[in-house]
Amino acid sequence: MREVEPVTVAVPWRTLFEVPDPARFEEVLEALTPRQRGLVVAAANFAALDSPGAELAMHVYRSDEDDVITTDVRSYEPPATPRPEVGVFPIVSRMEGAARPHVKNVDDGWSVVPESHRRTVLVSPDRIPAEARSRPSLRPRALAWAARERLDRSFPMLYDGLRQLALARRARATFTRRIPRHRPPARLAAVRPSDAAGKPRAVLFGLHWLEMGGAERWALETVALAREQGFVPVVVCDRHSQNPWITRPELEGAVVLPLSYPMYDDVDDQPLLRAILENFDVAAVYVHHCQWMYDRLPWIRAASPGTRVVDSLHIIEYGGGGYPGASVHMSDYIDLHHVISPQLFEWMTGVQGVPSERVHLAPLHGLTTGEFADVEFSPRSSPDALTLAFVGRLTHQKRPYLFLRLVAALTRAGLPVRAILHGDGTMAEPIARRIERAGLAAVVVRRGEDWPVSDTLCEEDVPVMSSQNEGIALTTIEAIAAGVPVLSTAVGSQDSLVAEEFLVPRNPAAFVAASLSILRRVVEDDGLRRSVWEDERERLRRFSEMESATEWLHGEMRRWHAS
């Protein structure tokens, strides 16, 4: 890596380029929101890796829909559709390595693009109107998906009940069948490790996206800890997202690379990974729910056999295992699997046959909470109403609609309740419409992910987990530590922390009926809420005696330093 003057304009992320004209760079950044600036710096970092040593002109455009260009083959040419241009600024790559061919997709084939020193960056708005969001209309079986969406909108309880029947069948298969291991193609034997001498010591992270979530909070904690330990975090995200968390302080000093598609992967090489290995001494690869990185572990093992590979696993998905399933499939290339729940440990070792010495159980207690010895019961936030709360992503897995069904049932029963719906996600617009249609606007308080979760923790009397699946939800730990009992579906390892009296069925109709019965008793007798919380606090106390994920990772990173 060449020694050059650093970027003079203050940005929180590590940059792999120099800026010959800081005034123009600053002018472009000032016209953007902080999140958009992060995407622009990410695109410039990718361009620096992609074109080592080159001087490039970064043309930044603004989209009015959820389309982003940071790393894909569209970046080599002007936008196919006219877009408002924010500005242009030059960069000079500080990266080293061989020149790489730049290509575009032509009739489902790849064609080399003539050498160009311009790059296109497209940033989306911070808030995407519903009509401008990506639609699944071009996916295979689009008509079937459209029919499912109409059924979900019109008859959500019926649709969810049918879905739970299907998931129950898939769950039985997931907890009985072994997943086959991946076998690498012979061509990977030709890959040779690069010389790491004199390069910055780094950890390569594979993340899902930079959005609100328990898994993402742990992922960002690991990134911050790597930086504190003296590593350069190189963070690759493989899922399309607005990446609102790109501005989080945990990413300060990191190289952040949220991928946009289509990207070109040579059949015999991995251009982005090779560029990273050519410019950093990668001590470890850490995978957090990132299929792109899982798929490339065979190549990484062949290219850099001394690099330690670990992953963190949170939840077993019904129908193949989800990311734990991908992890098992690639287990021969992973040195250690970190799991956060007893259920996952038992599934990995017992059902899937991964040697127990390569699976480490370390829960996420202490990640966002302190010690539990002095935790006290939280009195009702209001004497006039019981405050329920939903905190999480607004997705089908979390079933926020079911939380609203419960609130509506409580209201119809004449019980004094107030509800907080805290989160964002793909179901945000449908949920807003359901609140209006159900006449719950005066009962339900909406909060986005820009609102501190700590505020909701201070106000909630009973948080409700309506999920169809969980590992151990981080919000469960946070709520108990805040002095309130959690009511949850009996899924995943939730029974490790949630009292039996507050565990309810996953089936949607049974969930509403059981939850209504429990909360009716809570309204009449707040002593029940206290006794259940005391049970859950004791469960959490015993759980907290286990080594925490943060404690485990401190020791793990010491091993990376020694390698």
Closest CA to 38 of 206, 244, 208: 244
| pTM, two decimal places | 0.87
Residue 135 clears pLDDT 60, i.e. is over it = no
- Non-local CB neighbours of 495 within 8 Å, separated by 6+ positions: 503
Strands 232-237 and 201-207: parallel
Fold equal for 192-363+547-562 and 386-544: yes
Sign of torsion over alpha carbons 527, 530, 534, 535 = positive
Order of strands, sheet of 462-465, starting from the edge strand that comes earlier in the sequence:
444-447, 417-422, 386-391, 462-465, 487-489, 503-504
Q: Give mean pLDDT, residues 121-128.
A: 90
- The architecture (CATH level 2) of 386-544 comes to 3-Layer(aba) Sandwich (3.40)
Domain boundary assignment for the chain: 17-125, 192-363+547-562, 386-544
Candidate from 143-147, 154-158, 210-214, 475-479 with smallest mean pLDDT: 143-147
- What Å distances lie between residue 560 and 226, 253, 340, CA to CA? 10, 19, 21
Give the confidence band of 296 by pLDDT, cuts at 50, 70, 90: very high
The winner for highest mean pLDDT among 93-102, 269-278, 307-316 is 307-316
Cβ–Cβ < 8 Å for 395, 427? yes
- Non-local CB neighbours of 152 within 8 Å, separated by 6+ positions: 159, 160
Comparing 171 with 123, which gets the higher pLDDT?
Answer: 123
Tell me the backbone φ, ψ of residue 237, rounded to 5 degrees: -115, 135
Cβ–Cβ < 8 Å for 385, 445? no
Fold annotation for 192-363+547-562: Rossmann fold (3.40.50)
Candidate from 43-47, 181-185, 307-311, 535-539 with smallest mean pLDDT: 181-185
Tokens found for residue 336: 């250690």
Residue 137 clears pLDDT 50, i.e. is over it = no
- Give 62-99 pLDDT, tens digit per residue: 998 889 999 999 999 999 889 999 999 999 999 998 87
Query: CA-based angle 360:371:474, to the nearest 5?
Result: 55
CB atoms within 10 A of CB 445: 16
